[in-house]
Amino acid sequence: MTGPRFTPLSASLPATVPFVGPETQERLTGRAFRARLGANESLFGPSPKAIAAMERAAKDAWMYGDPEVHNLRAALAAHHGVTPAHIVVGEGIDGLLGYLLRLLVGPGDAVVTSAGAYPTFNFHVAGFGGTLFRVPYAGDHEDPHALLAKAAEVGAKLVYFANPDNPMGSWHGAAAVEAMVAAVPEGCVLLLDEAYCDLAPAGTVPVIAADDPRVIRMRTFSKGYGLAGLRVGYAIGAPGLIGAFDKVRNHFGLGRVAQAGALAALADQDWLGSVKMHVEAGRGAIARIATENGLVPLPSATNFVTVDCGQDGDHARAVLAGLVTRGVFVRMPGVAPLDRCIRISVGGPAEMEVLAAVLPEVLTELLAAG
C-alpha cells in the first residue's frame, strides 16, 4: 500500500503556518483571553446594517454565492471610480496573495519583500517555489528605494510593499508611493498592500491610475469594516492582470452571506467614520499606557500600536509572554531589530483597562527577575 506522492516542492516545505491563532493558545492554556489584542481585528465590530444584511442573507445560505461577485464588484468599482474589470474580490487579502503568486511566480522566480514584513506573503512565495529576497527596514519603515534596488538587481517579478505597514504601523506619504510606482523595474509588478489604508491619516493613499500595469493594490473588509471573520478582500489593478485571476481563483470561494455583509458595510461609510474615531482614541490610550510604563509607542497609521520595549528581542518576548500568561493576547515582529517591540491592537475601554492593569505587573516581575 502506497501513501500520497507529494510533489518535490511540497515535500520540501516545512509543516508550518505563518501564525499561531489565539484560539490555539486558548486551547493549550484551557482559558479564554481577557483581552484579544493581537490579531488587528476591529473590536468595534461591523456596521449594524451589515449585520442586518447578513441576517437576511442567512436564510439563503443553501445557495452558493454569485461566482462573479457582481454586485459587490460593481459597488467597489463605483466607490473607487473605476470599472468592475479593474476589481477582483477574494477570500481576504491572504487568498488573493495566493492567487497572485500562482499567476506570476514559478519555481526559482525572484520575489522581493522587507525582512520582517507580512509573513503570509512569504508563505505563498515558498508554496509556489519562488526565491525570496529580503531587504532591511530603514529604521521603523519599509524602505522603498532598497526594495526597488534589490528588484532590479535580481530581476524580480514581484515586489511586496505594505503602506501602512504591518508589523510596525509606520507609513509613507502618497508622494513617496507614487514615486515608487514610477520607478518599478521593467517586467516587475509592485504589490501594494493597503489593508490598513481605511484607518490611515490624510495624505497616505496615493493616486495611481487603475490601468497602470506596474501595480496591483489590495484592500480588505477585515480592518476598518470589522468583517475579519468573513474573509473578504479585493484587488484593484489593470484589467489584463485582474482578468487573469479568473484562470486560477476559487469561483465559489466567497459565500452568499459574506457578499451581502461586505456590500452593506461598504454602503455604510458613516460607520467606518465612527470606527476611525474609535481607533484614533484607542491608539492614544495604548500610547498613554505604554508611556506611563516607561515604554515607547511608535507612531501608527493602523488599528494597532507597536511599542518599543527598550531592550532586545529576548526582553520583548518576555514581555509578550507575561501578557499572554495574564490573559492579554498580543503579538510581536519576528525579525531583529524590529523584535525589540510588541504589537498591541486597539480595543475599547474595557480592553484598555485590562492592558493598563496587567502591563505594569509584567514589567515589575521582569525587573525583579533581573
What's residue 369's pLDDT? 87
Q: What is the dihedral of CA 204, 207, 213, 217, to 10 degrees?
A: 40
Contact 295, 353 (CB under 8 A): no
pLDDT band at 215 (very low <50, low <70, confident <90, very high): very high
CA distance 296 to 308: 5
Q: What is the pLDDT of residues 258-279, one digit of tens each?
A: 999 999 999 999 999 999 999 9
CA distance 113 to 135: 7
Q: In the predicted model, is pLDDT for residue 195 greater than 90? A: yes
Q: How far apart are CA 194 and CA 278, in angstroms?
A: 20
What domains sit in the chain, N to C, each tagged with a CATH number? 19-45+270-369 (3.90.1150.10), 48-267 (3.40.640.10)
pLDDT band at 179 (very low <50, low <70, confident <90, very high): very high
Q: What is the mean predicted confidence (pLDDT) over 196-202?
A: 96
What mean pLDDT is predicted for residues 66-84? Answer: 98
What is the band of 112 on the pLDDT scale with cuts at 50, 70, 90?
Answer: very high
pLDDT of residue 192: 98
Q: Average of pLDDT values for 107-134?
A: 96
CA distance 114 to 109: 17
Average pLDDT, the chain: 96
Cα 204 from Cα 333, distance rounded (Å): 23
pLDDT in tens, 144-173: 999 999 999 999 999 999 999 999 999 999
What would the mean pLDDT of 36-64 be, rounded to a whole number?
97
pLDDT band at 196 (very low <50, low <70, confident <90, very high): very high
The share of the chain scoring above pLDDT 90, in percent, equals 95
Distance, CA of 33 to CA of 30 (rounded, Å): 10
> Span 236-254, mean pLDDT?
97
Query: Listing from the earlier edge strand, what are the strands of the sheet with 304-308?
Result: 296-297, 304-308, 341-345
pLDDT > 90? residue 2: no
The answer to whether the predicted template modeling score (pTM) of the entire model surpasses 0.75 is yes
Given a cut of 90, is residue 1 above it in pLDDT? no
